[in-house]
Every structure is written in C-alpha cells, then in structure tokens.
Amino acid sequence: MPKLKTNKSTKKRFKLTKKGKLMRFKAGRRHLLTSKSSNRKRGLRKNTEVEGKIQKITKKLLPYG
C-alpha cells in the first residue's frame, strides 16, 4: 500500500494534541488591531479546539498526525 500524502496547508494551520484533539488559532489577530480592545486581543491569543464534524474531516488530511 502506498504512503498517504499529508495536506501541507492543514499541517501548518492545525496542531494535534496527544489525546487526539485538533487545535487551531483564532481568526482576527493579523491586522487592524488598534480598533480592537486589549481584552478582545487577549482572548484571540489562545488556541481553541476544532469542533465536531470539521474535526473528523480535518483529521483525514493529516494521516500521520
């Protein structure tokens, strides 16, 4: 059986934890930060878990993750 290819864009955007959860970065922290409050920016720092069906689909793109 041939090796499966990892989707490189998925590899860059998501991280798999030891327990098998998929973590992602929150959107909205790249630019236009002066108009956003410190509280809001602080909340955007943390990673968050990918939810439900999307997690199942994304894991298929990371066969050796």
Query: At 48, which CATH number?
Result: 4.10.410.60
Residues recorded for the chain: 65
Q: What percent of the chain has pLDDT over 90?
A: 95
pLDDT of 5 reads 95
> Model pTM?
0.80
User: Is there a domain that residue 35 lies in?
Assistant: yes
CA atoms lying within 13 Å on the CB side of residue 34: 0
Biggest CA pair distance of the chain: 53
Partners of residue 36 on adjacent β-strands: none
User: Is there a domain that residue 49 lies in?
Assistant: yes
Phi/psi of residue 16, nearest 5 degrees: -95, 130
Secondary structure E strands in 1-65: 14-16, 22-24, 48-49
User: Is there a domain that residue 15 lies in?
Assistant: yes
pLDDT of 65 reads 79
Could you list the residue range(s) of the whole structural domain that residue 34 is in? 8-60
**pLDDT tens digits along 1-52:** 899 999 999 999 999 999 999 999 999 999 999 999 999 999 999 999 999 9
